[in-house]
Amino acid sequence: MYNELSNNHAKELAKLQQKKFRTLNRKTIVEGVRLIDQLNDYGISFDELIITNSDQINTSHYFAKQISIANRDQMKKITETITPQNIAAVIEIKPVPIEQTQFLLYLDGISDPGNMGTIFRTATAAGVSGIILSPNCCEIYNPKVIRASLGSVFHLPSETHEHNWLKSIKNTIIATTLEDSTNIFKLERPASLILVIGSEAFGVSQDILQIAEHKVNIPIQGNIESINAAVAAGIAIYHLIGK
C-alpha cells in the first residue's frame, strides 16, 4: 500500500542532504534504480521507498518498510542530483564491523567523495576484508560517496581508527609513497597485510611511514607528479590480492 508524501515529511527528508542530520538521525537518502537495486541485492532493507509514479515502477521485490509517492517538486527537494530519477530510498546507517583481517585497507585522510566511493567499490569487487578510515577522511554516507561506491559502503565492513591503531594490528603494513620506496610490483605479498593509501594532497602521514614494514610506489612515466588516489588504490589492491 502506498502513502502520499506530505510536504512536511519531504522537508524532513531533505535535511538528510546535510551531514549533521544524517549523523543525528542515523539515516541517509539514496537515489536511482541502479543503486537501489544493488542495495536490494545486498539484502539491505529500506526504511522508506519513495517513487514518483507507482504505475511505472514495480516495487514488489524491494525490502521496504513503507512506500510513499512524491511529486516531482518533492523528489527534487529530497535528492541531490539536478535531474532526479523517479525512485529514492531512506536507509538506516549501520556500519558493518570488520571480522576478517587477511587483507585490509587503511585510508589516511581521503577527502574527495568520488575517490572514497571508488575505493570502496574497487575493494568490494576485489574481495578486500575491510576498510579502516582515519578520522579526517570524508564521511562515507555522503550521497556522492554512496553513488560512487554503488552502495558498497553499506556492504563492505569498515571502521574508523586513529593512526595509533595500526601499532596494535599484526598485519604487515604496506604504505604507498613516492619517498624512499620500492616498486610495488617487486614486492611479494605477505600472508596478511594492511595497505595504506594516503590523502590526495599530502600522501601517507609520517607517523604511519615510520612504522610501515614496506614503503612502495607505483612506477610513473612522463611528467605526471602522481596518480589519482582511487586509481592507485585499485592498482595496488589487485596486485597484492593476486587477482
Q: Are residues 78 and 111 in the same domain?
A: no
- Identify the CA nearest to 116 among candidates 18, 229, 193: 229
Q: Are residues 85 and 130 in the same domain?
A: no
pLDDT of 178 reads 87
Give the end of a domain, one of 40, 63, 92: 92
Could you give the percent of the chain with pLDDT greater than 90? 78
Residue 227 sits in which domain range?
Answer: 103-241
pLDDT of 83 reads 74
Q: Are residues 61 and 38 in the same domain?
A: yes
The domain tally of the chain equals 2
- Any domain includes 140: yes
Tell me the three cell numbers of residue 66: 513503507
Beta strands in 11-168 (DSSP E): 27-31, 48-51, 67-69, 87-92, 103-108, 130-133, 158-160
**What is the overall mean pLDDT for the chain?**
92
Q: Are residues 26 and 143 in the same domain?
A: no
Q: Residue 230: is its pLDDT beyond 70?
A: yes
pLDDT of 133 reads 98
- Measured distance between the N- and C-terminal CA atoms of the chain, rounded to whole angstroms: 46
pLDDT of 226 reads 80
- Identify the CA nearest to 47 among candidates 28, 31, 32: 28
Quick one: average pLDDT of 39-54?
89
What is the pTM for the complete model shown? 0.92
Could you give the percent of the chain with pLDDT greater than 70? 98
Task: Assign 156 to helix, strand or coil.
Answer: coil
Q: Are residues 75 and 162 in the same domain?
A: no
Task: Assign 191 to helix, strand or coil.
Answer: coil
| Side chain identity, residue 174 | I
The per-residue pLDDT for range 9-41, each reduced to its tens digit, is 999 999 999 999 999 999 999 999 999 999 999
C-beta separation of 241 from 125 below 8 A? no
Q: Are residues 110 and 220 in the same domain?
A: yes
Buried residues in 144-181 as b, exposed as e (16+ CB within 10 A): bbbbbbbbbbbbbbbeeeebeebeebebebbbbbbeeb
CA dist., res. 167 & res. 30, Å (int): 36
Give the end of a domain, one of 92, 122, 140: 92
Q: Give me the CATH number covering residue 21.
A: 3.30.1330.30
Q: Are residues 70 and 108 in the same domain?
A: no
Confidence class for position 57, pLDDT limits 50, 70, 90: confident
- Any domain includes 28: yes
Confidence class for position 213, pLDDT limits 50, 70, 90: very high
The per-residue pLDDT for range 85-141, each reduced to its tens digit, is 889 999 999 989 999 999 999 999 999 999 999 999 999 999 999 999 999 999 999
pLDDT of 227 reads 87
Give the end of a domain, one of 92, 118, 149: 92
Confidence class for position 54, pLDDT limits 50, 70, 90: low
